[in-house]
Chain A
Amino acid sequence: MKTRSICLSPGRLQPGMTIAAAILTRQGDELLPANCVLDESLIERIRRRMIHCIVVNVPDDRDPATIAHEIETEEKRLTYIFRGDSREERAELLSAVRLFRRNQAQ
């Protein structure tokens, strides 16, 4: 099955989810390796370490048209919230957010 990587807060983790990227502690030590499958005890371990963002692989049953529509919706919103004149730095921020949103949608 096709999957995609998304970032979740600890409260949204579920047993059976697969970690997409190694989880590091605040000190940079590896807490859990990539491709590790979560169970209740591992989720509790993550929560107690106050790790805020965990990248997991989730099933992705969206068809290409749905993905394209999501990207288009995000792009419209970005165009709206970044309306008006921009200095160079704001334009660079827009580029970074646009790339982030595209990667998120895909």
Chain B
Amino acid sequence: MIPPTLTEVLSRASALPTLPEVASFIISTIEDDTSNADSLVALLNTDPAIVARILAAANSSVFGLSSRVDSMREAILVLGLEEIRSITLATAIVDRFNMKSACFDPRMLWRHSMGVATCARVIAEENQFNAEAAFTTGLLHDIGQLLLFAVAPKFFEEVLARRQRLDETIIEAERAVFGFDHAIAGGELIKNWRLPADIADGIYGHHDPESGDFGEMGDLIHVAEVLSHALDLGELPNNRVPDLSGLACARMGIEWPAFSAKFAEIEARYEEILNALSLQY
């Protein structure tokens, strides 16, 4: 059997569930400073599953408040709009893209994606970039893997087996099996979904930001991805830290001895978000 081409994979992208409406809304308002809590609350309240998840998160031991939070409006007041948007987005996406097989456990992918999203947010905050856009891009950075798995599961399982057998990077194994990789598949998918261009750039560039002009988001997600592996967030059994672009670090102004002061915070925030989403081990 011949693996599908990139065009064929994208033409079969309907094999992936569509983005939930609330996730699309959050992403589309990422750069909209005028978007307010009212419109988000109205939308959230149309989705009982998300309301339940947010309230459970707000009342969980992670936030550990002594008084009960029993409405979305109160949850926003207590947790802040930024946190609510992150939890909602992550919940909506993780729940929707919950495909699994004997060889592929999306929970591992999501734990890794949460790690990259957390690193991206902290790096963005340090650099006064848009932290929400960084978090969202980190969350979606490996969506191309889900697409490949949804469209061509047998070939994707071959990628995973090859990666394990030869200790290759996922990119090397995908290029060997498909002739292209999840970064390009994911970037194209995000473009097809008409999400903001910098999210697509971050996804295209996350493994090799020097191979094109992917803007600051390409550099940011690349550095976040490598840092997430280095801090072992997600603790993938066969974790291997990818190579790191010195150019991307320089463009981001990151010097590791200084930035290491943020490592403990990253680990604490990662633990928080995993607990809030019930993705912990």
Residues of A in contact with B (beta carbons under 8 Å apart)? 7-11, 40, 43-44, 47-48, 50, 52-53, 55, 77, 80-90, 92-97, 99-100, 104
Is B96 close to A, CB under 8 A?
Answer: no
Residues in B with CB closer than 8 Å to A83 are: 167, 240
Residues in A with CB closer than 8 Å to B227 are: 93
Residues in A with CB closer than 8 Å to B271 are: 9
Cross-interface CB contact of A89 among B61, B62, B249, cutoff 8 Å: B249
Residues of B in contact with A (beta carbons under 8 Å apart)? 60-66, 78-80, 83, 167, 226-227, 229-232, 239-241, 243-246, 249, 256-257, 259-260, 263-265, 267-269, 271-272, 275
- Cβ A53 vs Cβ B257 within 8 A: no
Could you tell me the distance between the alpha carbons of A10 and B79 in the complex, rounded to whole angstroms? 13
Question: Whose C-beta in chain A lies nearest to the C-beta of B227?
Answer: A93
5 closest A-B pairs by beta carbon, nearest first, are A7-B264, A96-B256, A53-B265, A89-B246, A9-B268
Residues in B with CB closer than 8 Å to A100 are: 260, 263-264
Q: How far is the CB of B247 from chain A (nearest CB, A)?
A: 9
Residues in A with CB closer than 8 Å to B264 are: 7, 53, 55, 100, 104
- Cβ A96 vs Cβ B65 within 8 A: no
The B contact surface, by secondary structure, is helix
- Cβ B244 vs Cβ A7 within 8 A: no
- Cβ A93 vs Cβ B275 within 8 A: no
Q: How far is the CB of B74 from chain A (nearest CB, A)?
A: 12
Could you tell me the distance between the alpha carbons of A81 and B167 in the complex, rounded to whole angstroms? 11
- Cβ A90 vs Cβ B241 within 8 A: yes
- Cβ A7 vs Cβ B268 within 8 A: yes
- Cβ B269 vs Cβ A92 within 8 A: no
- Cβ B269 vs Cβ A99 within 8 A: no
Question: Whose C-beta in chain B lies nearest to the C-beta of A41?
Answer: B66
Could you tell me the distance between the alpha carbons of A92 and B250 in the complex, rounded to whole angstroms? 13
Q: How far is the CB of B208 from chain A (nearest CB, A)?
A: 12
Residues in B with CB closer than 8 Å to A87 are: 243-246
- Cβ A9 vs Cβ B229 within 8 A: no
Given contacts A47-B64, A86-B243, A89-B246, contact A77 B272 (CB under 8 A): no
A-B contact pairs, 22 of them (CB 8 A): A7-B265, A9-B62, A9-B272, A40-B66, A43-B64, A52-B268, A55-B264, A81-B239, A81-B240, A83-B167, A84-B240, A85-B243, A87-B245, A87-B246, A89-B249, A90-B226, A90-B243, A92-B257, A94-B230, A96-B259, A97-B260, A99-B260
Could you tell me the distance between the alpha carbons of A85 and B242 in the complex, rounded to whole angstroms? 10
Could you tell me the distance between the alpha carbons of A33 and B271 in the complex, rounded to whole angstroms? 25
- Cβ A81 vs Cβ B246 within 8 A: no
Question: Whose C-beta in chain A lies nearest to the C-beta of B242?
Answer: A90
